[in-house]
Amino acid sequence: MLNLFKNRRSIHEYSPKQVTNNILYQIFEVARWAPSAHNAQPWRFIFIRDPATKRKLAEAMANRWNQDMRKNGVSHMNRESLTKASIERFTNAPILVIACLTMEDMDAYPDRRRQKIEHALAVQSVAAAIENMLLAAHVQGLGACWFCAPLFCQDEVRRVLGIPRSVDPQALITLGYATSEPEPPPRKPLRNMVYQNRWGE
């Protein structure tokens, strides 16, 4: 199990080999068993294999990113290069998964402080389901990568995929068979992130 966790990689390039519905079912089944606040299971998933829908979504997201980069002063040439690469990355992946958050079964509070906390609980729950999905994909011999891009263009994602206003797109996960295995990414030593009894010890 330790090797399973340590050998998983974020994959950006995929072969054209298709992912079967049976494998997708198993991945979503594992995601379904993630822990969640109040057992509310606030995740919803849309998987996309239709090329036209993938391109429409990728272009809509790229257009919004281009607008944001323009505000940041990024040159036209760099914006064009980055958005083109983004569109290719998402359209070339055999499967796109949009992970969404719904508050419909989460607790409701009258005050803003607890509403904010409850939303954070839902975000953490969706993240746990995504991590389960990534590990399940790895077990199935697939590559995957978790992108947070939908957070920056939720309205565009909602419009392309018909997502209700009450549901928040949280992440995009690419799935497919990897064409290569990336080198292990650097990791900080445990002494820099794990303390005993109090901060810094």
- CATH number, domain of 34, equals 3.40.109.10
The answer to whether residue 200 is domain-embedded is no
The answer to whether residue 6 is domain-embedded is yes
Find how far residue 93's CA is from the centre of its chain: 14
CA distances from 124 to 24, 31, 40, 119, 128 (A): 23, 13, 12, 9, 6
pLDDT tier at 199 (50, 70, 90 boundaries)? Answer: very high
β partners of residue 178: 14
Which burial class, exposed, middle or buried, applies to 131 when counting CB atoms under 10 A from its CB (0-12, 13-18, 19+)?
middle
Global pTM reads 0.95
The answer to whether residue 156 is domain-embedded is yes
The answer to whether residue 58 is domain-embedded is yes
* Torsion 100-171-121-119 (CA) sign: negative
The whole-number pLDDT of residue 2 equals 86
Domain extent for 164: 2-178
The answer to whether residue 22 is domain-embedded is yes
- Total domain count for the chain? 1
The answer to whether residue 197 is domain-embedded is no
3-state secondary structure of 149: helix
| pLDDT tens digit sequence for 18-59 | 999 999 999 999 999 999 999 999 999 999 999 999 999 999
The answer to whether residue 169 is domain-embedded is yes
The answer to whether residue 198 is domain-embedded is no
Q: What is the DSSP letter of 178?
A: B
| pLDDT tens digit sequence for 127-181 | 999 999 999 999 999 999 999 999 999 999 999 999 999 999 999 999 999 998 8
| pLDDT tens digit sequence for 66-87 | 999 999 999 999 999 999 999 9
